[in-house]
Amino acid sequence: MSIEFLKKHAQTLAGFAHESSAQAAQNPADFWLQATARNQKQAATDAAQDLQLACAAQVGELLDLRFIGPQADGAISLEAFIRIAEPLLKAWKAAAYRIRHGAVDGRIGGEIADTLNLKLAGLSRGSARISLTGNAAADLSGESLLHATLTQTFNLLAADDDAFYDAVDAMGGRAAAHFGDAMKAIKAAGLSAEFSWQSPTQCFTWQGSTDEIVRLKVLLDAVAEPETYDEKISGLVSGITDTGRLEIRTQQGKVQVRFPLDQTEAVQRLAIRKSATLLVRTTKYWNAVAKKDVLKRLMIGLADS
């Protein structure tokens, strides 16, 4: 249904509810009139919520979490929900901090929470379906921190063994650890999960079956504390993408470097086929499956800035 239809529908039901409420107030002893007023008020409230969710979905601000299993027959226990939701919220805030500032450690202040503005928007039937909304407004870099955070969330959830460490590095080890805690809580509650999000460009869906949750948890548990060090990388700029990546052609070959949102202004000063020296923070992960080191690089500045 279109936004315009939902808007007109909500306005019509709100009008009916207002009239019924006024009539019920004038006839407090009329049982059926009181019941009609209550029902129409609830219908108007439901229609307003449907409109709100549709508007949020249209601009990429709606995230649906569905939990499936014998313990989620149209609802979910409060204890299970808190144990799942708490590490998810911590993971999203840590990932947003990493995406904006490039840092893994550090105090995540209210700035990140205020920017994401994540809210519980509804609980629907059909196993346990939870709707969350956030703030998709672009920041000073011209990017939406919410969109970037959710994109990296689904990149991590869908990552195979080859792409896994790139996804972990994009959101940071702290966020990845919190996602591991969320997977543990979902598994402990005897649930499977389905996460879905309609971004402005595509629909993301993660089917978190029991086996998939175990697979992801095993990968996340295997992430050891990485080694981090700073270095300079010099060469010709051979590529700049709108997904936050640079490609530098050095004497040793091409090097991929990720850049956080707060380095966007510095990146805009670079030009293709021009030389540049980047200040880079390199993180070395140990891939226990492949038995090899995996290097991921993050730009923290320009040497001449």
Cα distance between residue 24 and residue 276, in whole Å = 74
3-class secondary structure, 204:
strand
Count of H-run helices and E-run strands, the chain: 9, 10
3-class secondary structure, 15:
helix
* Structure-block tokens of residue 163: 């792409």
- Condensed to tens digits (0 to 9), the pLDDT of residues 207-263 reads 999 999 999 998 888 887 788 899 999 999 999 987 788 999 998 899 999 998 888
The pLDDT assigned to 72 comes to: 63
Cα distance between residue 116 and residue 120, in whole Å = 13
More confident residue, 255 or 34: 255
- Condensed to tens digits (0 to 9), the pLDDT of residues 177-219 reads 999 999 999 999 999 999 999 998 889 999 999 999 999 998 8
Give the domain 227-302 fold: OB fold (Dihydrolipoamide Acetyltransferase, E2P) (2.40.50)
What phi, psi does 262 have (nearest 5°)?
A: -80, 5
Provide the residue ranges of all domains of the chain, joining segments of one domain with +: 3-58, 62-221, 227-302
Is a pLDDT exceeding 70 seen at residue 124?
A: no
The pLDDT assigned to 127 comes to: 60
Cα distance between residue 33 and residue 19, in whole Å = 11
DSSP, residue by residue, 196-207: EEE-SS-EEEEE
Q: The pTM is what?
A: 0.80
3-class secondary structure, 105:
coil
